Amino acid sequence: MFRYLAAAAILFGAASQPSAVEQYKNLRQQARSAHQAGDQSAYLHALLQLQEFLHHPPAYVEATAKAYATTGDTPHALASLKEFAELGQTDEALLSDKEPDFAPLQKTPAYKSILERLAANNAPIARAETALILPDPGIVAEDIAYDPQSKSFLVTSVLKKKIIRLTLDGRAVDFAQSPSQWPMLAIKADLAHNLLWATEVALDNFTTAPKSDWGRSAVLCFNLQSGALLRRIEGPVHSALGDMVLTQQGDPILSDNLGGGLYQVIGDRLKQIEGKEFISPQTPALLPDGHSIFVPDYLRGIGILDLKSGHVTWLHSDGKYALSGIDGLYFAGGSLYLTQNGTSPERVLRLQLDKTFTQIASEEIIERATTTLGDPTHGVIANGFLYYIANSGWSELDDHGDVKPGSHLTPARIMRFKL
């Protein structure tokens, strides 16, 4: 969900067997120490370990290419750089010859071909259309749900700390305020029980939340029609419960973007159901069997968590698909729909899965590199469409949640793509 949370997640972890958070922290420290010592061989070795552990995210693939180039290993540098390009990425510094580490590669024919692919990866693609424009540019929209009874969307606001109801003709009214006056993040509608679940999070260092509350999270349950608050469940200490999915019974499963854990609402309490494999889990998606969920990790890619056994397997990119940097993830008709605000360029994609839902068969880009995409956050599938929030406003905020000097917020869009 939040890029800075993924980095901060290395500070927390379980005390017994090494968790993914602890392993990531240790590998990062090894790489940092080797780099500071000028030991290029040890640095490259640490990067390769990180790349493998994180399932080949583009950022580490490119970092490995630089390390190879620095050690004079041109063939491996070109191979890694080619993989980076084939993952659909681009790098403005590379395209403008501002990366001195790659100077030894510039005279090779393969390098020129890679640059052409990087430039092509930044070409705009727009296959969705604008459904609605949020009237208030200052809310910084995060998550979205749909209520078919009132034919309206419900959208959480980070800066205004509330939920708004948005009708199909663009009218917006306040639905509910954060009871603690914290940023509001995840939201899901339980239509069978007329409930709306949401989260409020006192994000660390955010000036919009009291400093005394930083690191606290809560799960909220509202009446879907009236907006009355029915329940509030406090989250674990030092957590950011920023994303959610509902089970077939309507029970929320929440991702702790900061601590790496996954929690399920059981009655009036939260039960941890996974705490080892993820570093910064984002929006889960329920599989049709109801017993497993896809869990996108902002750093490690897409895991499949068996809710009964707790076992996690991973979708593999095979050097073709960039699976890190995912914020929102949704499953429909054998495909995963995802918003990626941690890749370059930022994108909205459809991944067609095989019949077992364990392998990726193909990739289709819905939107990338357009003037209106900005930072896409979350979406919802309704009425045969994927609706997703574009131009959320996150890119205009600094690490304290304040608008960056020289920046200004513009209205977010709800985009629509026919499934």
> What is the reported pLDDT for 345?
97
CATH of domain 3-121: 1.25.40
Sign of the Cα torsion 293, 312, 375, 13 reads positive
> What is the reported pLDDT for 174?
97
Sheet holding 195-201, edge to edge: 184-190, 195-201, 217-223, 229-234
In the numeric block, which tokens belong to residue 15? 């005390």
Residue type, 117: R
C-alpha–C-alpha distance, residues 341 and 348, integer Å: 9
Predicted TM-score (pTM) of the model is 0.93
Neighbours of 107 (CB within 10 A): 9
For 103-128, how does the pLDDT look when each residue is reduced to its tens digit (9 = 90+)?
989 889 999 999 999 999 999 999 99
> What is the reported pLDDT for 316?
84
For 365-419, how does the pLDDT look when each residue is reduced to its tens digit (9 = 90+)?
999 999 999 999 999 999 999 999 999 999 999 999 999 999 999 999 999 999 9
In the numeric block, which tokens belong to residue 44? 């490259």
Name the pLDDT band for 16 (thresholds 50, 70, 90).
low
Considering only CA atoms, which of 172, 360, 154 is closest in space to residue 244? 154
C-alpha–C-alpha distance, residues 402 and 139, integer Å: 12
Residue type, 242: G
C-alpha–C-alpha distance, residues 30 and 43, integer Å: 8
C-alpha–C-alpha distance, residues 295 and 78, integer Å: 32
> What is the reported pLDDT for 318?
81
For 296-311, how does the pLDDT look when each residue is reduced to its tens digit (9 = 90+)?
999 999 999 999 999 9
Q: Where are the domains of the chain?
A: 3-121, 125-418
C-alpha–C-alpha distance, residues 229 and 92, integer Å: 47
Over range 6-26, report the average pLDDT: 68
In the numeric block, which tokens belong to residue 268? 């009036």
For 128-175, how does the pLDDT look when each residue is reduced to its tens digit (9 = 90+)?
999 999 999 999 999 999 999 999 999 999 999 999 999 999 999 999
Q: Which residue has the tokens 């990739």?
A: 363
Report the relative pairing of strands 413-418 and 129-133 from DSSP bridges. Answer: antiparallel
> What is the reported pLDDT for 17?
76
* Domain covering 125-418 assigned CATH 2.40.50.90 in the classification: no
Q: What are 263's strand-pairing partners?
A: 254, 272
- Given a contact cutoff of 8 angstroms between Cβ atoms, the answer to whether 275 and 242 are in contact is no
Neighbour-count burial of 355, counting CB atoms closer than 10 A to its CB (0-12 exposed, 13-18 middle, 19+ buried): exposed
For the chain, the distance separating the N- and C-terminal CA atoms, rounded to the nearest angstrom, is 24
- What's the per-residue H, E or C state across the chain? CCHHHHHHHHHCCCCCCCCHHHHHHHHHHHHHHHHHHCCHHHHHHHHHHHHHHCCCCHHHHHHHHHHHHHCCCHHHHHHHHHHHHHCCCCCHHHHCCCCHHHHHHCCCHHHHHHHHHHHHHCCCEECCEEEEECCCCCCCEEEEEEECCCCEEEEEECCCCEEEEEECCCCEEEEEECCCCCCEEEEEEEHHHCEEEEEEECCCCCCCCCHHHCCCEEEEEEECCCCCEEEEEECCCCCCEEEEEECCCCCEEEEECCCCCEEEEECCEEEEEECCCCCCECCCEECCCCCEEEEEECCCEEEEEECCCCCEEECCCCCCCCCCCEEEEEEECCEEEEEECCCCCCEEEEEEECCCCCCEEEEEEEEECCCCCCCCCCEEEECCEEEEEECCCHHHECCCCCECCCCCCCCCEEEEEEC
Q: How far is CA 174 from CA 19, 49, 236, 248, in A?
A: 41, 48, 28, 28
Residue 376, CA atoms < 13 Å, CB-side half-sphere: 36
- Given a contact cutoff of 8 angstroms between Cβ atoms, the answer to whether 393 and 140 are in contact is yes
Over range 186-197, report the average pLDDT: 98
> What is the reported pLDDT for 31?
97
